[in-house]
Chain A
Amino acid sequence: DTAVSQTPKYLVTQMGNDKSIKCEQNLGHDTMYWYKQDSKKFLKIMFSYNNKELIINETVPNRFSPKSPDKAHLNLHINSLELGDSAVYFCASSQRFRMNSNTGELFFGEGSRLTVL
């Protein structure tokens, strides 16, 4: 059983298109994240949801819109794709979240490699 699963694994598309990446976790975690890893392997947090509520929204263009229909799912929709959006997008989840407390370990999906042509 895959703990955190993302689809699709690879996505190749043209500039200006709209695409979505889906993420599901079966760990019973309350908190889910989207991270972006660029070509130099820098990993940067984009969004975090706790029990379907947005709690972290880093400086990300509003072309990126996360959606959490329930606490086991966190999807990422990207409008008007640009060349600079090419990256690997990782979904992750963690057990607990409370303000001013430990995040705990993150469980990552295998990543979704997005290539914008």
Chain B
Amino acid sequence: SQQGEEDPQALSIQEGENATMNCSYKTSINNLQWYRQNSGRGLVHLILIRSNEREKHSGRLRVTLDTSKKSSSLLITASRAADTASYFCATEGEYGNKLVFGAGTILRVKS
């Protein structure tokens, strides 16, 4: 079964608004990562947050991790049409060696 579950499944916003996507997982983790996938393309790594970190920033991206709730959120601020893509969270279990991906959130940013 999938380790990570994203919420919402789909999100449609206007350019300039913020987009928040959530990810829940089931078992203890080493790290959690977020990836973006544009239509018909491969996945691109956005950010990695380790289990002992609570928040991380990268440009317009802000990721939080709550290991007590086994959840993470990805915030994209001041969204742009180019942010339209699918976003996936992926978790590495505490025993390492592989990433397990969630089902993804489809984000559409309307200009």
B-binding residues in A (CB < 8 A): 4, 33, 35, 40-45, 48, 55-56, 90, 92, 97-111
Contact = CB atoms under 8 A, between A and B. Distances in A.
A97 to B, nearest CB: 6
- In order of increasing CB-CB distance, the 6 nearest A-B pairs are A108-B42, A105-B45, A43-B101, A108-B43, A110-B42, A100-B96
5 contacts: A42-B2, A103-B99, A106-B33, A106-B35, A106-B45
Given A42-B2, A105-B45, A107-B45, A99 B95 contact: yes
Contacts of A55: 97
B50 A102 contact: yes
Interface residues of B, number: 28
Interface of B: 2, 30-31, 33, 35, 37, 40-45, 48, 50, 86, 88, 90, 92, 94-101, 103-104
A42 B103 contact: yes
A9 B86 CA distance: 20
B43 A106 contact: yes
Given A40-B103, A101-B30, A102-B50, A108 B97 contact: no
A111 B86 CA distance: 15
B43 A90 contact: yes
